[in-house]
Amino acid sequence: MCERTVWRNDLEPRSDLPCRMLEARCPKSPAGITLAGLVALFCGCAVAAGAVAPAEKPIDIVVARDGSGQFRTVQEAVMSVPAGTPETPVVIHIKPGVYKELIYVQREKRCFRFVGENPETTVLTFDLNANLIGLDGKPIGTFRTPSTVMDADDFTAENITFENSAGPVGQALAIRVDGDRATFRNCRFLGWQDTVFLNRGRHYFENCYIEGHVDFIFGGATAWFEKCRIHCRRDGYITAASTPESAP
């Protein structure tokens, strides 16, 4: 019989969390395996019972249009790693350049970071707009226009420009955020109508620049803008919030 059993945290098991180590004082089995060792094997942990785990490190990836990095496009880099964790975030370093591509950070890809060197020279852009005709012969509509879509939680961007370059032709999103706890620092958001769509979640913007001419910050999320500059390119409403009245 074990003398005591103690869980090191009280979280319920989740597939997106590291395994929980079980600490127990048990005699060794005839095979010489302790209960803690069995738990470690069951969880797939590489740390032996009683050993100190090495410090976690970020997963660093470099994107460069000139081929000097591991990938030439941001989307290729995003697809190269299944997910990060708070202890081991996926850090995608984006070298200066204009990256004209549609970018989608899928729901399961938590703890991703886009890091540029300068928002003036590191630009993620595309040019879809709501009036373009889709394969079904109908306009694609507002919500299929974002140049970049963040569907995962705990996303961070620094020193990046997010742009929709379609011009004043109707709804054209630079970015859509569907995850929770997104953070943007020293970023630019360029567009005309519906530049930034914060669909859900809670988000933080610091030292950012956001421009448009009508409804260019909108959605049902909760967001805080710290030391940000908001620029109206023409007369029009700045925001079109759809946050529930019960939300703070």
Catalytic residue among 153, 180, 215, 235: 215
If DSSP codes are grouped into helix, strand and coil, which group holds residue 157? strand
215 catalytic per annotation: yes
Known active-site residue 194? yes
Q: How would you classify the pairing of strands 22-24 and 5-7?
A: antiparallel
Half-sphere exposure at residue 75, Cβ-oriented, CA atoms within 13 angstroms: 12
- Distance separating alpha carbons of residues 176 and 198, to the nearest angstrom: 6
* C-alpha to C-alpha distances, 82 to 46, 89, 100, 134, 165, nearest whole angstrom: 20, 11, 23, 30, 30
Instruction: Extract the tokens encoding 174.
Output: 């630079």
Catalytic residue among 153, 154, 178, 194: 194
List the catalytic residues: 194, 215
